[in-house]
Structures are given as C-alpha cells and as structure tokens.
Structure 1
Amino acid sequence: MINTLIGDIGHASVIVAFVAAIVSSYAYFMASRATVDISGDDSWRKLARGAFYVHGAAVMMIVFALFNIIHEHRYEYYYAWSHSSNHLPVHYMISSFWEGQEGSFLLWIFWHVLLGVVLINRSGKNKVWEAPVMGIFSFVQLFLTSMILGVVIGDLKIGSSPFILMRDFMPDTPVFAMDPDFVPADGTGLNPLLQNYWMVIHPPTLFLGFAATLVPFAFAMAGLWKGKFHEWIKPALPWSHFAAVTLGIGIMMGAYWAYETLNFGGYWNWDPVENAVYIPWLVLVGAIHTMIAYNRGKSGLKASYILVIASFILILYATFLTRSGILGNASVHSFTDLGLSGQLFTYLAAFAVMAVALLVYRWKSIPTTDKELTTYSGEFWVFIGAIVLCLAAFQVLFTTSIPVYNSFLGFIGIESNAALPADQIAHYTKFQLWGGVAIAILSGVGQLLWWRKGEKGSFVDAITLPGMLTLLFASLIIVLSKLGMLHETMDNPVFIILLVAALFAVFANLSIILSLLHKKISLSGGAVAHIGIALMLLGILFSSGYDNIISQNTSGMVYSREFPEEINRDNVLLWRNTPVEMQKYSVSYHGQFQEVVGVPGYVNTELLFPTADPYKAIARGQIVQEDKVYFETGDTLDLYSPENTYYKVQYKEREGDGNFTLYPRAQVNPNMGLLASPDIKHFADKDLYTHVSSVPDPNEEKDWGELQEYDLAIGDTIILNDYVAVFNGIEQIKQVPGVALEAGDVAVQADLKIFGERKNYHAHPVLMIKNQMMGRVPEEVADLGLRLTFLNIDTENNRFKIGVNASQKDYIILKAIEKPFVNILWIGTIVMSIGFVMAIVRRKDGGAKARPAAPKEKRKVQAA
C-alpha cells in the first residue's frame, strides 16, 4: 500500500496557505480602511498579520513536503518521478525542486513570504504602510498559491498540485490498471542541461528578483490607495535597488550558465525567455532613475508610478509567456503548458487592470512640479536615460510578443503567420547596440551634470578631462588593433562608436568617484554602478563583436551533406591521436573519459569495464592520477553521470610552451539529440571556448570489418590495420569484469602489445569456460579502431587463435572560438552589483528626505 502521508500533508498545507492568504488580504484591506489612530483598535491588522504568519508556516511545510518526496525518492508522486532519479547528488535534487512549474511557483511564493515577514517587522512604529502594502502582498500570494492548488471543480481546474500521485496523473497507463500501487524503481531524472551548479543558485536568485519587484509595486499601489502620493518613494527606493541588483545578478548568472553549458557559442542568444526577464529589468532600472530624480528635484513622480507599475506587470507578463505554452517551439527554455494558461492570464489581467485603473483614477491628484528642467539639469538627463531604457525594453518586447499576437488574432478568428526573426541575434543587436551607446553616453553626461548642479561652465570643465582620456584610450586601442597587437582590427565604425561611448562612461563616472573621495564615498554608488554597466558594454563589444572562430575547416572536405553549412565551415574533424593545425595551435583528440566518484579529474573509459548497472564499472587496470593509485584492477567503481562523456582535447602552441588540455562534455540523448557543453580555457585577455559539434553515435553498433583470424605462437609478430603487434602469450586470471567465476570455471587472457603511432597498447581479450560452455570477452582498442577476440587454444601444438576486426577510427568534430576580453563583462557585472549595494546601504533609512509637495498646487514640467 502506498504511503501518501507526506503528500497529504503537503496538499493540506497548500489549502491552508491559500485560505490564510485570503484571510490576510481581506483583513489587511479592512485594516487599511480603518480611520482609528494607530494606538486604538487594530484588531484587523493583528488578524491579518497572524493570518500571514500562518500562510508563511504553511508555505514552509509545503517546501518541506516537496523536497522530502524528491530526496526520499518517493516515485509514487509524479513530480519526484518526472524531475529526479536515484543517482542525483543532493545539490541536483535541489535543482529538481524548481525544475517543474509547481516547484518554481513555490520558490516564488517562498521568497514573497520572507520579504513579507521582513516588511512586517520593519514597520516598527510607522504602521501606516503595513496594512496597504501587505494587503497587496497577500493578494498576490492568493493568486500564486492558487497556481499549486490542484483543485478540480467540474471542468474548472485551479492550479497544478506537485503532490499528485502517478496513478492519478496517468490513470490510463496499463501498469496502473493492473497494479494501482505500482511505484517505479527510478525516476526519469533531471534535464541534463540543468545538471550544473549554476542551476542550483541561478533560479533562486532570479526568483528573489521577481519577488522583490513586488515591494516597490506594493508601495506605489499603497501610495495611490491611501493618497500618500509622494511618501511611498522613500521606503520603496532601497527595495527597488535591491530588486534591480538581485534580478540583474540572476540574469547574468543565467548568462554564465548558458556560456559554460550550452553550445551556441556565447552567453546571450536573445531567446524569448531571456528577453522576458531582461525587459522588466530595464524598466525597473528606469524607474529607479525617475524615483531618484523625484527625491532630489520633486519632478518625475508620475513617471515613477508608471515605470514601477510597468516593471511588476512585465514580470507577470514574463510569467505568462514562459508558462502558458504560448511560445511553443520559439524558446528552448519555456515550460510546457500545464493547462494553466487561462489562470495565468487572469493573474496578469487582474493586477494590470487594478493597477492601471487606480492610477487613472488618481492621476489628476498626483502632484506635479513647475520647476523648469534645463539642458544642464541632471534631472533632465535622468529622464532621457529612463526613456532610452524603456525604448530598448519596448523594442525587445514588441518582437518577443509575436507569438502572443498570433494567438490573440487566432482567438478572434484572424489567421496570422507572423514569425520571430530568423536571425534573432542580428535583429535585436542592431537596435540594442545603439541603445547601449545612448546609455553609456547618458550615464556619463548625466552623472557629471547631476553632481555639477547644472552649471554650463562647471559642466564644460568637468567633461574636459574624461573626454580627453576617452579619445586618448580609444585611439590607442584602435592603433594597437591595426598593428595586430589585439585580437582583431577595429574597423567597424559602429563598434568604434560603442567603444568611445563606453570609455567615456568609465572616465566620467570615475571622475565623479574621485571628486567624492574627500566628501562621502558612500554617495558614489550610482557612479560605481554606471562604471559596471560601461565595463559590461566593453566586454560584450569585444567578446561578441570580435570573437574569432579558430576551428575553420581548411581541408576542403564536406564532413556531411546532412550537416548545416556552419558545421562544415567552422569546425575541424579530429581523428583520434591525429593532430590538426588550428591557427597557432596543434590540436589533437585523445579519447573518451568519465567522472569516477572518489577520483579527481577524469578517467579514460578504456580503463572502465561496464556493468549491468550503468552507474557502476569495474577497473580494467590501476586508476592512477598524479602518481596516486585510487583503485586497483578489478575494483568496482561508482560513476557520477555515465550518460556524459568527456572528450580529451590537447592544445599545443607551435611557438611557445602554452600547452593545455580541455575536456568538452557531450551526450547523445535519445530524446534531445546531441547535448554538448563546452570546456573553457581562461586567459587574462580572452577565453578559448571549445565544444564538440558531432560525435559517433554511441547507441549505434560500430560497423566492424570482416573478422581476420590469426594462428599465433608466443612471440609472433603480425600487422593489424597498419600497426605492428606482438603476441606475448597468455595467463590465467581469477576475475573477469562483469562475470562471476565459480568453482570449475576457467578464464585466460591473451597479451598482445600493439605499437601505435604515439604510444603502445596492451590488449587483453579473454577466453573462458563457464558452466562447461566457452565464452569470449573481446578487447577493443578504440584509438586504433581494432577489436581483438581470443577464439581458441590448440593445446597440443601450443598455438592460439586470435580474431581481429577493424573499424573506422574514433573521431570528433570540434568547434573552438576565442572570446577576447570576455572577463571585462563578468568584472563589470560585479562592479555594477557593488554600486547597487552601495546605493541600498545609503538609502536603507530613506536617504535624503524628500520635501512634501503641495497636492493642490498645479505644476508642470518644462524641458528646455
């Protein structure tokens, strides 16, 4: 009988969390309507707070229950079976937790709970914000919790439960018809592309960023709701910084995961799911700028409302895009449709309508200012910067939403076949590149004007030194590139413009930091963040604009007419142990390797005899790494991931001693084809990015040639596939890998020494008599394309019969790309994050006090 206790606890906790969210949101709504003094009756607030804590406790119980069914391999539950397996280490079990839609929704709910508790406990004496802000929080939790409710009422399905049993999820499967209590012995496992340490930390960081965008949105809604039109800026601003830095770091973690896991040759592919997260981040950064401008000059309050609301609604839109199935095959990252598309749309529409309606209703009451913004006003350039960010976001949004347009037109009866751009990278880059130029220039000009108080003469003085340094360094870089001292010649005028703009942003903001050293360095968070953005632009410029494919096919050979032109053109064919010249390197492929538990590095598969359990192997010889013996011949070994093969590729510089070895990874997945992950050699000024593009299919039987039989005596020499081999004799063995020898069984192995081109090999085919039947265990020498079989023994004449089959030698098709100065991108990410953190620390108590605006005074903004 299946034990469903943990699932029942989990599902009951979902219901408790859902009901508690309803109670909390209603009670907070009632508390927000109360007009009594804070010291008076606050029973509604106490009820709401208590209900939210109950909701939080229930969410923690859901988290515990879901991880328990994964960790304890409870495959009677569909979620555990479809996302986990027996051999996953604990950190990949954690990744399994949020691989599915239900788990990722739960992760989002979990972060909202933690943020809500922080907000409640930070309210202190100023309880005026708790009720309206937490009312919004609880209302959002109500919708999110409904996504994992898993309740079916007639034809209405509300949410998808992570605690559904296999027999309930697949009731028509014959095995459950015969045995309702059947439990699979193993799960289907974690998506191989997600078996990466970045997938342990990237999703939680990204979803914390998603969750944190709710805080400024809730404050903005509370401000509109309670008529506190400008007071919300002060508490919301540090949370906006926190959301932006967390979301930004999460996005870049995903970029680095793609860089070292996927094989498209970079870190950003303009995939719709990548775009869906990038868009709200741009808008949120724009909102931060308008909020800062209002803090200083009391202008831009309406713009702040619009952008803060838009950033949260765009997060919901991104959720709808990635989880409704509307993207179809347009994205490799999107979730499949669980039948929740209508519920997701309701979630999006509810908050979009509520926020826009409240903003429109209160629009005339939001105070404006009659302060004139001049060309030399810092606030003016902040607004221009926010506009550029929003335009960049809109361009990506417009194209990414093409599947949505098609779906909507189809819904109203109009057929539309609009498609996403064939070359998405080129399409987005030609617009976003100019956006990067504008952002770099504005971040420099805006910062100088912000701190120079808008005086023309002062600004000219301030811009002179950064401008001169920019021209000097840009000229130096261009000259060095033309002299061949950099990776590529800089002759693209658009790239040169981006180079100049980014360098100007670095020097302009650096001058601000230096000028603030004698005042208060904590004020320079914005300048530090802008330097980080400029460095990221420089890293993107060099690593993507001037990447160099060094694996060009110069042989004139077409590897296969079935391959795309790119593979035939930009890849090299490497026969095993045969070096190929590749620009300044001599590159050679030296076989297949595996990860063995307890052994550092990788182990040659020639030393591993497979067993019936794919996660176990038997050592054919000593397993030695750096002169240390880890396993002896015959020992049983545990393999980390037998489906993954690591291909040893050696690079040798023809001039110099820059020799190194890479182990790009690949597996031939029956459902997903070739899944290749690169190995990367990091240099100070570049990365050498290497991945395999094609390998022989390990699931296909090798095409062995006709068996050649040799009748040998000890010491005989023969020629095998153009290689000299010497038969050294035979010896009796007590163990045969993968075979249990019993009393009366006999096994002997032959010893043949084969002289290869670069090293010698010993082959040991086995002949045995087990249960009075003859059996043979061939030995394959993959380097040489040989398989040797010990056929028979002529005891009277002391001669031995060896059979040899020849096959095509092992090979890989490999791609190698130099990514110049890509480290500048990652350094820029860190610098940007430091700047945001400095801004959070500075504003954690509200920063500079905002002067209250008179709500009844009519003002207008005039920009010169």
Structure 2
Amino acid sequence: MIHTTVGQLGHFFVILSFVTALVATVAYFLSALGRTSQVQAVAVEEPQLAYAGESSFGGKTTKRKAKATVETVEPPARDDWRTLARWAFYLHGAAVVGVVASLFYIVYNHYFEYHYAWSHSSRALPVQYMISCFWEGQEGSFLLWLFWNALLGAILIRTSGKQWEAPMMAVFALVQAFLASMILGVVFGDTFKLGSSPFLLLTEAMPDAPIFTADPNFVPQDGNGLNPLLQNYWMVIHPPTLFLGFALTLVPFAYCVAGLWRNQPYEWIRPALPWTLFGAMVLGIGIMMGGYWAYETLNFGGYWNWDPVENAVYVPWLVMVGALHTMLIAKRSSTGLKAAIILSISTFLLILYSTFLTRSGILGNASVHSFTDLGLSGQLLVYLLAFVVLAVLLATVKWKYIPSDEEEASVYTKEFWLFIGATILCLAAFQVIATTSIPVYNKILESFGKVSNLAMPTDAMAHFGKFQTWFFAAIALLTGLGQFMWWRKIENKKWDALITPGIITLLASAAIIAFGGIKNPVYMVLLVASVFALITNGTILLGIIRGNYRLSGGAIAHLGMALMLIGILYSSGYSRVISLNNSGLMISKGDDFTKNNNKENKENVLLWLNQPERMDKYQLTYRGQYIEVRGMPGYTARENVDVIEGDFHGVAQRDIEQNGKVYFKKGDTLALYPENVHYAVEYREPSGQIFTLYPRIQVNKRMGVVLSPDISHSMPRDVYTYIATAPDPSAETQWEKTETFSVAIKDTFFLNDYVAILDDVVRTNEVEGVEVGPGDAAVRAKVRVLDKNGEHILNPAFVIKNRMVAHPAELSDELGVRIQLNEIDPRTGKFTFAVNRTQRDYIVMKAFEKPLINILWIGTLIVVLGFAIATIRRYREFRKMRDKSVA
C-alpha cells in the first residue's frame, strides 16, 4: 500500500517552515529598522561614553577613548512588524514540529515506499534505534538542527527583552530559512535542485530502477536497516546533544550581530554570556559523548582519532571557549571586547564551515564519518558565504563604535592572562583546522586547473598530538595562574602566593614521574602543568566554597579540565597491548608479509573454545557465541536459541533464565537484536576474581562484518577487548567428507587429530529430540576424547523406534566434530561411528589496558558541573539587570 498522504503533509510543512522563516526574517528586519532609527549615535566626550570609563590595570588608571556611543530612545509601544514576525516564527516552529512528526511517523510505521525510511530503517530495529534512524541521513540531521533552533528562538522571544528581540531574531529567522531550504527538495528545470527532501518516494528517488518498470506500485518488504555502528544507545542521545550545541552557537552570534547593528558593541555581552556558557557546556558534552561512543563501538582502541569530522566539531568548541574568556574581560578591556566580537562570530561561522566539510562530500576520502554529497555542496557553500559576508561587512562598518584602550594591559592583571589563554585556545584551533582543510585547499586549486600534492597526515595521532600536547600544557598552566589573578591572590607585582602551590606541584609531579614510569619529556611537561592546574584551582575552590559557592563555576570547570588532561595523558600515552602472541603461531597471513601483518601477529591471541590460555596476568577462556534477546538482560548462549535467519526471531531450545529468573520457556518464540553475535571471553585475575567480556561482531548486508569492543571498567584501568578475527557467524558450517570407524569397547581411534576411546555403550531412556517409549530401544555410547587440557565426553545415541532406526548426532564445537553411532554388530561386538570434521570454534582477539581513563570521564562530568554553575550565575545576573531596566 502506498501511503502518500503523510509524505505530502510532511512536504507541505517543509514549504510552510521555509516560507514562514522568510516572513519572520523580513518582519523582524523591518521591526529592527524601526527600533534602530530611534537609536542615535552621538559623538561625545569620554566622560559621557556609555562604554568607556576608568578601570584599574596594574594599579594604574586607564582611560579608553571611543569615537561615538549611543543614546537609546524607546520606540513607539505598538510594533506591528514585530507582532507579525513573532506569529510567523511561532508558525515556523509548529511547521518544523509537523515535519519531524511526519518523518518519524513514516520511519516508525515502516513505510518503505519512502526512500528515507527504506535507506535508514528496518522492521528488526527496536524503538530506540528507530529514533536514531531519524537523524542518520543528512536530511534528518538538518531537520534536527532546525528543530533546536526553532525551540531556542521561541525561548529567546520570551526572554531576550524588547531591546534585543527584533535584530537578534532577524538573524535567527534568516538562519532558519537557510536550514529549511536544505530539506526543501524543489527542482528547477533539469539541473538546479534546492535542498533534498526526506519525503521522496522510492519511485522518485530511483526512477530508472527496473523493479518500478515492472511494477510501479512496488513496495519493499523491509528496509536496508540502520548502520550497525549507530546501533548503540549513545547514538540515541549524542546527535541531539551535538546539534543542540550547534544551535546554541547561533545565540551569541545573533546577540553580537544585534549589538553591532544597534551600535551597541558592549551591551550584547551580558545577555549573550550565559548562552555562551551553556552552549560551550552542551557542545562539549556532545563531543565527549561522541568520544565515548567511539570508545565503546569502534575498534581502533581509543576515544579520539583526530578524524576530520571529529576535528570539525572540536575546533568551534575551542573557539567558543576562547570567546567565553574574552567576554569575561570585555567589561574592563576593549581588546577583550574586540576579541569577543571576532570569536563569537567565528564560532558560528566555523559551525557552518564544519557542516560544509562533513556534508559536501569533500572529506569523502579523508574521513570515515563524513556524509556523501547529496548535490547540496553548492547550496552549503552559499549558506556559509552568505553569513561570512554578512558578519564581516557588519563588523567592518560598525568597528568605529568599539572603544579602544589608550594603554596596554599590564602583565599583572587578570585580563592579560585571560586574553593569553584565549589566544592559545585559538592557536590550537587554527592548527587543527589548517590541517583538516587540506582537501579544501586541493579542491580550490583543482578549480583553477592546478594539481595539488598536499595530503592529510598518514599518522594523524602523531601529527596533531605533537602540537596539541604543548597547547594544552600551556592552557593548564594558565588556568592555575589565571585563577590566582582573577581572585587577586597575586597583587602589587608579588608572586608569593604561587610559591606553596608551585612546591606542592613539583613534589607531587616528581613522585608521579618516579613511581609512574613516565620517561617522555613532553608527557612530563603536560603532567606538571596538569598537576599545577589541579592544585591551584583546588586551592581557589576551597576558598570560594567557604564564601559563596555560586562563584565556584570557573574553578570547578578548570579543575575538571586538569583531571581530563591527566586521564588523556595516561590513557593515550600509556595504553598497553596485553594480547601478545607468545605461541609462535602465525595468526595473520598474507601474500606479502607486511609490517602491519607482523604487528597483528605480535598483538593478537588465538583462543580455541573452552581452552584456557595465559595472557599477561590473566587466564583467558573463550566460552562461545552469545546473542542478545529483547526483553531480557544480559546475553544467552547462541545454542539456546534456534535463530530464524533473516527474521530476527528465534525459538528457545530450552528454558532461558537469567539470575535465577526464567524469561522464556522451551519452544517460545523470542525477538532478537539484529545482526549481533557476542563472543564470551572469560578473564580470571591472579586473585581468582572472574569477569566476562562480550565483544561483538555484526554481520550487516551493507557494511559486511563490523567489529565492536567490550570493556571492563575500573578506576585504575579499563580492559578493552575486541574480536579481530572469527569464523563468519552467519555462514553455514562446512563439514568434511564422512569418515567411518568400527571399534570395540576400550578401542582407541582418532577424531580430528585427537585420541578417542570408546569407554562403553549403555541403554538409555532419554535422548534429546526423541521420545523413547516402552516398546522402543535406545543406547548411548560414551566416547572419551583426550586433548592437552583434559578430556571431553561425546555421547552419540542409537534409537530403534517403531521399527525405524535413528542416529542423533553429537556435535562438539570445541573439537570441531560431529559423530553418529550408525551400526551395532552383536556378532563382532563392534560399533560403527560416522565422523565429520570441521573448523573448530575459535576467535582471534586483541586487548588493551587503558590506565586511568576513568579520570577522563570523571573530569568531563566535573567540567560540566562547573559550566552549569557558571551558566546559572550569569543568567541570574542578566535577568536582574533586565528586570531593573524594565522597572
């Protein structure tokens, strides 16, 4: 059945959102013009300046000189343009919600006649992963961004005040118009397309497909499914958080543009500051969520790989934090004000640039994360350039209204050190974006007919690490020094307050270096800087909490950052491979024995099913394949479920229980999580404590075999394990040619290179899968198989039922053997066994120890707490000032 109505409704909402965004833009622009005409720029002497004044810099009084300032005259009470703009923006928000609801309805109800649903979802996905399907595609991610902007715009209309609403919301609405155009999906002629619609039918997206020639109403029974790497709970919350961070960068940008527009270059700082704090917090959380997702899901052994798409988000965050610090000094320094304007504008423009990088397809050969080009690269470039031109022109024209200092800030002032910190953050950002943009440079040169030999670094970790380590060592030192300056612990050119923290830092660092085995001089510098930041900010924090804890946000955030740096130093610099191959076996083979093959042979261990092996201090045992059943915690052995291939369901072969509770009875049909096979690896520590990890292999029809790790977390270290190689869990078992053995009791024979002994053959009344009645006869053989780790017992049966003979086979994955008792000869006393051999069940796995990585995650949470406290404090300040001005 073709469900076209919901798609048509969704497309109508897209058009409505675009049109209403344009109406809101024009109406807010005209409203802002009306208000701006009431703001007269009057050249005055310095004592009358709204911004300029006197401030103390190192004990000296500094006067700032400005060319002009502003005098505000309230506009008429009635503003019809603003009323129209408000209603247009509210209607725009409602239309965006309508688009979201329509698209999710299509995905949730499996309307696979729509290209978006067919491309990104399937019937097997649980609800939480259907939510992930919503933003897997480019159209969905743009829609998510639209939604957050619409929500923030509605909040700002109610909270920003009449002074700022019109100019600021004109910027907001214009951004929304551009974003809505990205999902408009309107085609002009044969070549020009405006946006890519998420409501295209398959017949529209693939009109030349042969299936639609034969059957125009064809609807697939199932979709392609979700990228297996995105089938993770972090992918349900990470993208919305990240895009909320993207949306929040627009708020200080809009306030800044509004301030310049109104010839009020200073006044925008106070209302923008809490939003900048909140935006830096949310964007930082989103980035770290992505890092944790990579740590849990990808198998490169870490949480940050300096992938271009990771860098494209990291850079705006660095600049946003730099902008935040310059805002804090803008009250006392025009240098800080100018920097705050530049960096607030740059943060949003860098978000647009990162969008262009990741969604234009330009990073297709340089990144594992980037989207392919949907034909929107030109539109994305126009989006970026439009706001670059708007912001640069406005800042250039209005620069004369920004006051300037007559004297340089003294090195003994907090403003100086905050500015130095912001500068280093920006230098760190520049180093990353300059390298990440190499594909852009090449594209530009190609467009002029030139051939570029520039290439991305072959070892991104080493390239970026050698620069960023020094930048963050400097930042760590400055956080400690800056906090002492901020709270006036250093005054009158005396640095005595730093003596005690400095001595403690050196003693603590020396102890850690001596007992922690740190030999790399660069790591020593980073450690000393991080310990210094920890001690100085901890000292400041103790003093603040005794007074007013509401002022502690900065110290807490800096303390958390120091912990993060220590966690990064140890987890990255001292990560240790513990899966060393000491068996002498050649695990990795190839036509040419490369350096990489040699490394893989050295750093992987081969485990046979249920055969213990020594690895570092652990005894390892591979315990078999497990699967994840919906509605039940943990995992169950794969042999407990007869999996229905292609249906993501199975039939319980026995009662399935977990922690003493029976979840499914034998014969029940149960739902399985799609494509996942987990491999149970039992770790036994020297103390005797046992823990089991379940690294995962997914067999996906689009991406083939996808490997994901499992991790044992503890405060000293994480044990990180993933499967490097294993037999294809979706492939049918290939049995070799049948061999027969006729042996008497106590005779010896060979099974798959093992010594086997027929110990006995006895009567039995129980045979699995066969009901043995009173008139039936059944015997069971006891075959003892010896290997280096002990012995295995196989019990093939022979059944006579209703004058028919059955030979139930006994299978052993550990031995790679299937054995049947085929004949019993009472005259000779011999028993004939049919034996088939196959590859024994095995895995090749790799394991790391990640020391102190949990210090990184704890530090992240502390940073978030610091940002939250600071955000609340600054918002209360703004609200108090706003209420006073209204009164």
Q: TM (normalized to structure 1)?
A: 0.91
Matches within 5 A, 1:203-282: 203-282=239-318
1:450 aligns with 2:486: yes
Select between 719-728 and 615-624 the one with higher mean Cα deviation.
719-728
Tell me the amino acid that sits aligned with residue 584 of structure 2.
Answer: G
1:62 aligns with 2:95: no
Separation of aligned partners in 1, 2:22 and 2:804: 74
User: Which whole-Å deviations, capped at 9, do the CAs of 1:688-710 have from their partners, x for residues lacking one?
Assistant: 11111111234555553331124
User: Which whole-Å deviations, capped at 9, do the CAs of 1:544-600 have from their partners, x for residues lacking one?
Assistant: 111111112223333123363332121111122222221111112121111123443
User: Which whole-Å deviations, capped at 9, do the CAs of 1:180-215 have from their partners, x for residues lacking one?
Assistant: 111111111111110000000000000000000000
* C-alpha displacement of 1:450: 1.7
* C-alpha displacement of 1:729: 5.9
Separation of aligned partners in 2, 1:200 and 1:91: 7
| Equivalent of residue 510 in structure 2, options 448, 469, 475 | 475
Conserved 8 A contact 1:14-1:145: yes
Tell me the amino acid that sits aligned with residue 22 of structure 1.
Answer: L
Conserved 8 A contact 2:588-2:598: no
Separation of aligned partners in 2, 1:439 and 1:801: 78
* C-alpha displacement of 1:611: 3.0
Conserved 8 A contact 2:677-2:729: no
* C-alpha displacement of 1:637: 3.1
1:345 aligns with 2:381: yes
Tell me the amino acid that sits aligned with residue 587 of structure 1.
Answer: L
User: Which whole-Å deviations, capped at 9, do the CAs of 1:248-302 have from their partners, x for residues lacking one?
Assistant: 0000000000011111001000000000000000000000000101134454111
Tell me the amino acid that sits aligned with residue 94 of structure 1.
Answer: I
1:134 aligns with 2:169: yes
1:786 aligns with 2:817: yes
Change (3 A) 1:462 1:712: same
Separation of aligned partners in 1, 2:780 and 2:639: 17
Matches within 5 A, 1:439-518: 439-452=475-488, 455-456=491-492, 458=494, 460-481=495-516, 489-518=517-546
Tell me the amino acid that sits aligned with residue 600 of structure 1.
Answer: P
Conserved 8 A contact 2:747-2:757: no
Conserved 8 A contact 1:767-1:790: no
Change (3 A) 1:63 1:748: farther
1:625 aligns with 2:658: yes
CA RMSD of aligned residues (A): 3.0
Conserved 8 A contact 1:535-1:825: yes
1:360 corresponds to: 396
| Equivalent of residue 697 in structure 2, options 663, 666, 686 | 666
1:568 aligns with 2:609: no
Matches within 5 A, 1:432-831: 432-452=468-488, 455-456=491-492, 458=494, 460-481=495-516, 489-562=517-590, 564-641=597-674, 643-653=675-685, 655-700=686-731, 702=733, 704-710=735-741, 720-721=751-752, 722=754, 723-724=756-757, 757=789, 760=792, 780-788=811-819, 802-831=833-862
Change (3 A) 1:773 1:844: farther
* C-alpha displacement of 1:54: 0.5
Separation of aligned partners in 1, 2:336 and 2:403: 10
Select between 43-52 and 775-784 the one with higher mean Cα deviation.
775-784
Change (3 A) 1:596 1:28: same
Conserved 8 A contact 2:364-2:371: no
User: Which whole-Å deviations, capped at 9, do the CAs of 1:57-104 have from their partners, x for residues lacking one?
Assistant: 000011100110111111111111111111111111111110110111
Separation of aligned partners in 1, 2:628 and 2:796: 24
Separation of aligned partners in 1, 2:272 and 2:208: 52
Conserved 8 A contact 1:237-1:846: no
Unmatched tracts of structure 1, length 5 or more: 482-488, 851-864
Conserved 8 A contact 1:713-1:727: no
User: Which whole-Å deviations, capped at 9, do the CAs of 1:647-679 have from their partners, x for residues lacking one?
Assistant: 1111112x3223211111113445434321111
1:854 corresponds to: none
Separation of aligned partners in 1, 2:133 and 2:296: 20
1:853 corresponds to: none
User: Which whole-Å deviations, capped at 9, do the CAs of 1:223-261 have from their partners, x for residues lacking one?
Assistant: 111111110001001100011000000000000000111
Tell me the amino acid that sits aligned with residue 242 of structure 2.
Answer: L
Separation of aligned partners in 2, 1:767 and 1:329: 62
Matches within 5 A, 1:400-419: 400-419=436-455
SS of alignment partner, residue 517 of structure 1: helix
Conserved 8 A contact 2:356-2:380: yes
Separation of aligned partners in 1, 2:799 and 2:502: 80
Tell me the amino acid that sits aligned with residue 300 of structure 1.
Answer: G
Separation of aligned partners in 1, 2:567 and 2:800: 62
Separation of aligned partners in 2, 1:257 and 1:309: 30
User: Which whole-Å deviations, capped at 9, do the CAs of 1:486-515 have from their partners, x for residues lacking one?
Assistant: xxx111111111110001011111121122
2:17 corresponds to: 17
Separation of aligned partners in 2, 1:508 and 1:170: 62
Number of aligned residue pairs: 830
Separation of aligned partners in 1, 2:647 and 2:821: 26
* C-alpha displacement of 1:775: 10
* C-alpha displacement of 1:811: 1.4
2:115 corresponds to: 78
Identity rate, percent: 53
Separation of aligned partners in 2, 1:617 and 1:718: 38
1:857 corresponds to: none
Conserved 8 A contact 1:767-1:792: no
Matches within 5 A, 1:86-235: 86-123=123-160, 126-154=161-189, 155-235=191-271
2:430 corresponds to: 394
1:834 corresponds to: 865
* C-alpha displacement of 1:732: 8.7
Tell me the amino acid that sits aligned with residue 589 of structure 1.
Answer: Y
Conserved 8 A contact 2:280-2:321: yes
Tell me the amino acid that sits aligned with residue 826 of structure 1.
Answer: W
Change (3 A) 1:767 1:45: farther
SS of alignment partner, residue 844 of structure 1: helix
Select between 86-95 and 288-297 the one with higher mean Cα deviation.
288-297
Change (3 A) 1:748 1:350: farther
User: Which whole-Å deviations, capped at 9, do the CAs of 1:515-560 have from their partners, x for residues lacking one?
Assistant: 2234322112111111111111000001111111111222333312
Conserved 8 A contact 1:716-1:727: no
Conserved 8 A contact 1:592-1:647: yes
Select between 297-306 and 726-735 the one with higher mean Cα deviation.
726-735
SS of alignment partner, residue 571 of structure 2: helix
Conserved 8 A contact 1:82-1:187: yes
* C-alpha displacement of 1:716: 9.2
SS of alignment partner, residue 620 of structure 2: strand
Tell me the amino acid that sits aligned with residue 539 of structure 1.
Answer: G
Conserved 8 A contact 1:714-1:729: no
